[in-house]
């Protein structure tokens, strides 16, 4: 039996279209090429504008771009992968996940159980396609381990993502995706393979300095939002 091609994708990335993002779409693609990635999913907070720009810029590059976003649901964040428009925020996570899947997209829970980062609780996770079990932005890796155990018990596909908000951390954690035999790498074929669960989470974690810097940045954004 002919084995399919395995490609490397970072499915959790942010550009300046996110309120806390610092990488332009062009710099993000430059970083993806340096990291040797085959594909990326741009998942800005509640918008697909950064992803659309990146997809246009990638027309002359070797990196495939999938349009997505990180949706702020009532129960925590949810990655909507392979959607044309940003789903409405503020709805329950299962409702949002079903809407994403009805649109042909993929619903993946990022950094679950990390409440300080809007991670969903276990009892809120329903109707999704996969779980991010390796988020690079983790200091002790405890939550990643819990996420992996949860995904294994529930039979969810496992994903790894850098959750990069700066170009320097693109590709720290990734997902290895196996495409069917004789299948070209496109955004559609990639989403289809991820939906079939042909995924493996791989990668490293950010440094302590990067973790602490992001922690302080998040605290600052939360403070400013209250002003």
* Dihedral (Cα; 37, 40, 44, 47), 10-degree rounding: 160
Residue 15 lies in a domain: yes
* Cα separation, 153 vs 151, whole angstroms: 5
Predicted pLDDT of residue 208: 45
Q: Please give the residue range of the domain that contains residue 135.
A: 6-226
Strands 106-109 and 76-81: antiparallel
Q: Is residue 189 part of a domain?
A: yes
Check pLDDT > 90 for residue 161: yes
- 212, pLDDT greater than 60: no
Residues 75-78: contacts with CB under 8 Å, at least 24 apart: 75/120, 75/121, 75/124, 76/109, 76/112, 76/115, 76/118, 76/119, 76/120, 76/121, 76/124, 77/109, 77/110, 77/111, 77/117, 77/118, 77/119, 77/120, 78/107, 78/108, 78/109, 78/110, 78/120, 78/128
Counting residues of the chain whose pLDDT is more than 90, the rounded percentage is: 83
Please say whether the beta carbons of 9 and 36 come within 8 A: no
Number of domain units in the chain: 1
Residue 1: inside a domain, yes or no?
no
Q: In the prediction, which pLDDT does 206 show?
A: 53
42 is a domain residue = yes
């Amino acid at each position: 039996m002919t084995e399919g091609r395995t490609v490397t994708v970072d499915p959790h990335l942010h550009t300046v279209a996110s309120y806390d993002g610092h990488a332009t779409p062009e710099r993000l693609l430059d970083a993806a090429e340096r990291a040797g990635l085959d594909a990326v999913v741009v998942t800005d907070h509640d918008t697909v504008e950064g992803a659309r720009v990146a997809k246009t810029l990638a027309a002359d590059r070797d990196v495939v771009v999938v349009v997505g976003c990180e949706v702020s649901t009532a129960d925590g964040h949810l990655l909507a992968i392979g959607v044309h428009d940003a789903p409405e925020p503020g709805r329950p996570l299962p409702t949002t996940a079903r809407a994403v899947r009805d649109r042909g997209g993929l619903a993946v829970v990022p950094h679950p159980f990390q409440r300080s980062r809007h991670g969903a609780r276990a009892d809120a996770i329903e109707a999704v396609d996969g779980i991010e079990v390796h988020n690079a932005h983790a200091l002790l890796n405890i939550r990643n381990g819990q996420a992996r155990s949860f995904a294994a018990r529930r039979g969810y596909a496992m994903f790894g993502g850098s959750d990069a908000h700066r170009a320097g951390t693109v590709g720290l954690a990734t997902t290895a995706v196996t495409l069917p035999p004789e299948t070209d790498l496109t955004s559609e074929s990639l989403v289809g393979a991820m939906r079939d669960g042909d995924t493996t989470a791989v990668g490293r974690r950010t440094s302590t300095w990067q973790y602490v810097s992001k922690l302080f940045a998040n605290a600052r954004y939360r403070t400013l939002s209250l002003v």
